[in-house]
Structure 1
Amino acid sequence: MALLDDVKSELAAIDNELPAAKKAQSAAMIRFGGGLHIIQRHIVVEAQFDSLPAAQWLQNTIKDVYGHDSDLIQVNRQTPAGNVIRYSVRVLRAGGALALQTGLLDRRKHPVRGLPADIVSGNIAQVKAAWRGAFLAHGELSDPGKASYLEIVCPGSEAALALVGAARRLGINAKARQVRSSERVTLRDPDVIERMLNLMGAPKSSREWTGKRSDGESRGKANRLANFDDANMRRSAKAAVEASAKVTKAFQILGEDIPENLRAAGQLRLDHRDASLEELGRLADPPVTKDAIAGRIRRLLQLAAKVEKQQAEGLNTTQDQKD
């Protein structure tokens, strides 16, 4: 959450945009942050944010660009996760005028359900600003090291489609989807997310997010390798225990009638039950390869199995003769 706050603070600190871009950003912030309401036959403009710098940016822009006063109100809301603080920017008296100025009301004074046409078809600076405003209003960003996503919760399908079209003009493929009855526009590719953060105007946060994501991926890879190594060690240990039990049984079957090289290999297995075949090969006198030690142990077990089978057949023959 701290990184998301940093992204929004960095975006809200941008103050070198031309008026057209500021208008595009403020219109998107109002559209995605709340919108227009009718109270006692008067249009009220209200937008809520989880970022105080974002709310302050909109309040200042409404005053400097459009010439209207607004109220900034802190709203405390209880949720199952605890107390949530939101910041509401509200324009009461001049709500209708501001709605017309931002393009959120068309010339027939009908509400615009997506984004104003002059923003969607405007220059690239306006398109970037619209995405910046939408993100400031209702954007989410995954924590580094987790499944990557950048997502904006939209007030409706028209707004989602407008945002997807704006992303396409920036050369980015965004997906509109419905999640729990809410419309969302989502980016999932880490490289695309990094690019969008830069396009919106948050290069510092983009580098931080990318760096932490890379660190998280490195740790994840290291953990997977460690788990893989642990699994291999467990398998090797289990195989060594099973091999030791088979060698013990082979010694019991063969007794003293064992070739010396096979006996030595089997004894190494019993004396060093946790050692790998490679380690047993180094312990042999003279040292041999792991393939050689494995071959000798295998021939020892085959010899014991052959003798055991002959003994069983001889026992059966004797029993048949008695019968």
Structure 2
Amino acid sequence: MSFSSGVKDELSRHQTLARHCQIAEIAAIISMCGGVSISEKDHYSLKIQTENVYVARKYFTLLKKAFNIEVEVSIRQGTFSKGSRTYTVAVLNHEDAIRILKAARLFNADMEIEEQFSISDNLVIQKTCCRRAFIRGAFLAAGSISDPQKFYHFEIVCATVHKAVQLQEIMNDFGVDAKIVQRKKHFVVYLKEGSQIVDMLNVMGAHVSLMELENVRILKEMRNSVNRKVNCETANIHKTVSAAVRQIEDIRYIQQKIGFEQLSEGLAEIARLRLEQPEATLKELGMMLSTPVGKSGVNHRLRKLSDIAETLRDNEEENYYD
């Protein structure tokens, strides 16, 4: 089972106790994957179609709890894929369909089908708990979440830009920064930050999945932290080794051209010591001197040796061209 399927499985088993929250979740599912049919005799029927068994199961359960009505469930096997199934949950009774549509505020004042899922002016999602339920229903019906082992991505696909903007507003009411992007004919409301996806799982009530994602995030952060430290230490080692190689080259050049006898006592001592201890750090070299000095003192002497070597090279180059 994928991580996304696991989240939906958990949400489909989530106990929505308050009727107003059940209606908000029903409204979201209808909004995302539902349809209304009106016969010539103005007979209303309501159905949702989904390839996800968790959506069908949750919608069926919600209708039973909130309205205690008869619901027809059918399953159609996919034509091209043996594992593909389409689940249809239909309310064929006219009165029952009208009750659901009215409760979900899908009728306007003129009894026409309308969807205005706005925090400010729709009673279905006025309460915080109902907004949580609405997001849960929307995600069940049209959402997905990536495997956190690979990358962080949470999205809900909407059929219209209006639905996307309304959903974005509801999600952002919980302190996240949901974005919208158009993908072909659809509009996708998405989150990319791992911490915000954790927050959204908490909002929807997917606490088991939340802990699983948090564990992945902790392990990732630990690995990244270790990698950063290793890379930093590797860079420092490389820098130290490169510096030591240059220092030894300079010292050997001085030894070859003028000998250590021409150097001051302090410079001659550090020159010999560096040749004897090519892998020693500046601090270690300083401790080995007859009169110990700190890192800065050792660095100062080695830089003087490098300057001398550079001067000798310049003089040799001038003599060559003369």
TM range (shorter): 0.7 to 0.9
Q: Secondary structure at the match of 2:156?
A: strand
Give 1:236's aligned residue: 240
Q: Which moved more, 1:195-204 or 1:68-77?
A: 68-77
Distance across 2 between alignment mates of 1:85 and 1:57: 19
Q: CA deviation at 1:216?
A: 1.5
Is structure 2 residue 280 aligned with structure 1 residue 279?
no
Give 2:69's aligned residue: 67
Of 37, 45, 48, which aligns to 2:47? 45
Q: Is the 8 A contact 1:71 1:90 kept in 2?
A: yes
**Cα pair distance change 1:304/1:59, threshold 3 Å:** closer
Q: Output one character per residue of 1:40-94: Cα deviation in whole Å (capped at 9) or x when no partner.
A: 97856223154x3332121233345351322253655879xxx875652332744
Is structure 2 residue 17 aligned with structure 1 residue 17?
yes
Unaligned runs of 5+ in 1: none
Q: Is the 8 A contact 2:16 2:22 kept in 1?
A: no
Unaligned runs of 5+ in 2: none
Q: CA deviation at 1:170?
A: 4.7
Give 1:195's aligned residue: 199
Query: Cα RMSD (Å) of the superposition?
Result: 3.7
Q: Is the 8 A contact 1:36 1:99 kept in 2?
A: no
Structure 2 letter corresponding to 1:27: A
Give 1:255's aligned residue: 259
Q: Secondary structure at the match of 1:46?
A: strand
Give 1:27's aligned residue: 27
Structure 2 letter corresponding to 1:127: R
Distance across 1 between alignment mates of 2:97 and 2:260: 102
Q: CA deviation at 1:174?
A: 3.4
Q: CA deviation at 1:119?
A: 5.1
Is structure 2 residue 139 aligned with structure 1 residue 135?
yes
Is structure 2 residue 270 aligned with structure 1 residue 265?
yes
Q: Is the 8 A contact 2:50 2:87 kept in 1?
A: yes
Distance across 1 between alignment mates of 2:58 and 2:164: 23
Q: Is the 8 A contact 2:76 2:87 kept in 1?
A: yes
**Cα pair distance change 1:308/1:212, threshold 3 Å:** closer
Structure 2 letter corresponding to 1:13: R
Identity of aligned residues (%): 26
Distance across 2 between alignment mates of 1:126 and 1:11: 15
Normalised to the residue count of structure 1, the TM-score between the two structures is 0.78
Distance across 2 between alignment mates of 1:138 and 1:127: 16
Q: CA deviation at 1:131?
A: 0.8
Normalised to the residue count of structure 2, the TM-score between the two structures is 0.78
Is structure 2 residue 156 aligned with structure 1 residue 152?
yes
Q: Secondary structure at the match of 2:293?
A: coil
